[in-house]
Structure 1
Amino acid sequence: MLGLSVPTLAGYLAAIVLLMVTPGPDMMFVLANAVRYGTRAGAVAALGVAAGEAVHVAAVVCGLAAVISASPVLFTVIRWAGAAYLIVLGIRALRGAGGPDAVAAGQDGRAGRAFLRGLVTNLLNPKMILFSVAFLPQFVDPAAGDVTAQLVLLGGLFVAVQLTVDVALGAGAGRLAARLADGRWSRRINRICAVAFVALGLRLAAG
């Protein structure tokens, strides 16, 4: 496949699977949406995150990601914007915490917003910029053919694996939350999601 060896592709897939199951802002966002608003919202959030990944891959192919990572000022602006966005989501989740009626309303009324929020959460994560610049090129072999085509292939596999993992996790979290959908558990879940968002925002701000 584009001259890339089977061991190289196998090693790449193993690496990204391990990365995908490591908790981070994207995974927490998908899980939070699935738990608060249902399986559908979790899947839509995963699609938004995957779309953000596709943008990062395109930026690597075009060389834009390298420019951003090389600019301390621009990189810091993106980092602080991402941190602020996550903290705002956490505060909104805390203010919107409620019982089963609130969760049921969210399943229908807020699932559509999950895509955009997932996209923005991923795009404003500066660590994804550094990761894309540092990780993808490691598996490119200039002697194996077109470098751009290899980056597109590797990036496409990355997006596909992340989408698969996030959708599976979101589906599981959504089903579990549905079984615990009484007033007490709903309020606890909302608070946990809110705290998770704020903690991730603070962590991102701290660098």
Structure 2
Amino acid sequence: MLGLSAAALAGYLAAIVVLMLTPGPDMMFVLANAARYGARAGVVAALGVAAGEAVHVTAVVCGLAAAISASPVLFTVIRWAGAAYLVLLGVRALRSAGGPAIATDGADARPGRAFLRGLVTNLLNPKMILFSVAFLPQFVSPASGDVTAQLVLLGALFVAVQLTVDIALGVGAGRLAGRLADGRWARRINRICAVAFVALGLRLATSS
């Protein structure tokens, strides 16, 4: 496949599966939406996150991500914007933690809102920029064929695995929240995600 060996592709897939299962802003956002608004919201949030990652992959292919990561000022602006957004998500989640187990009304329950927030959460994560720049090219071999085509393939696989994992988490969390009638599990997950958002935002703001 485009000159890439089966062993290289298998190693790449294994690496991104492990990475996708590591808790981070994207996973927390999907879980929070699924616990609060149901499985459908979790799936839509996962689609938004995947769309953001597709933008990152496109930027890598076009060379934009390398330019951003090489600009200290621009990278710092993105880092602070991402940190502020994560803290904002955490505060909003804490404020809504005392509500009903599954909310079905209000602006925040609309599918479009979950998609947009998932997209922004991923785009404002500067570590995804660095990750995309540093990770994807490691599996590209100029001797194996067109470099751009290899990057597109590897990026598509990355987005597909991320989408699969996040959808599975969103559907599972949403269904479990719906079955627990008292809502304690959903509110507990919501609080955990809220604290995680704030902690991740503060960590991002203070990281070098």
Partner of 1:74: 74
| Distance in 1 separating the partners of 2:177 and 2:102 | 14
1:46-99 Cα deviation digits (max 9, x unpaired): 000000000000000010000011111111110110010011111122223333
Aligned to 1:116, the other structure's residue is in SS state helix
| One-letter amino acid matched to 1:2 | L
Aligned residues: 207
Paired letter, 2:15: A
Query: Where does residue 116 of structure 1 map in the other structure?
Result: 116
Unmatched tracts of structure 2, length 5 or more:
none
Other-structure match for 1:65: 65
Give the Cα separation in 1 of the matches to 2:202 and 2:59: 26
Structure 1 residues 101 and 141, CA gap change in structure 2 (3 angstroms): closer
Deviations along 1:5-25, whole A, 9 cap, x unmatched?
111111111111111111111
- Establish whether residue 162 from structure 1 lines up as the match of residue 162 from structure 2: yes
Show the counterpart of 1:55: 55
Secondary structure (helix, strand or coil) at the match of 1:103 reads coil
Output the TM-score relative to the length of structure 2. Answer: 0.93
Over 3 Å counting, the alpha-carbon distance change for 1:46 and 1:183 in structure 2 is: closer
Which secondary structure state, in structure 2, belongs to the residue aligned with residue 104 of structure 1?
coil
CA distances 1:94-121 after superposition (whole Å, capped 9, x unpaired): 2233332772336983333110000000
Alpha-carbon displacement from aligned partner over 1:144-196 (angstroms, at most 9, x marks no partner): 11000000000000000000000001111111111224255554443333222
Q: 1 CA distance for matches of 2:157 and 2:57? A: 11
Bigger drift between 109-118 and 130-139 goes to 109-118
Identity over the aligned pairs, expressed in percent?
A: 85
Distance of 1:65 and 1:131 partners within structure 2 = 10
| Equivalent position of 2:20 in the other structure | 20
> Separation in 1 of the partners of 2:198 and 2:115?
20
Q: Could you tell me which runs of 5 or more consecutive residues in structure 1 were left unpaired when the two chains were aligned.
A: none
Whether the aligned pair in 2 keeps the contact of 1:41 and 1:107 (CA below 8 Å) is no
**Does the C-alpha gap of structure 1 residues 197 and 24 become closer, same or farther in structure 2, counting only changes over 3 Å?**
same
Contact 1:86/1:198 (8 A) holds in 2: yes
Residue of structure 2 equivalent to 1:37: 37
Tell me whether 74-83 or 190-199 shows the greater mean CA deviation: 190-199
Q: Quickly say closer, same or farther: Cα 1:107–1:71, change in 2 above 3 A.
A: closer
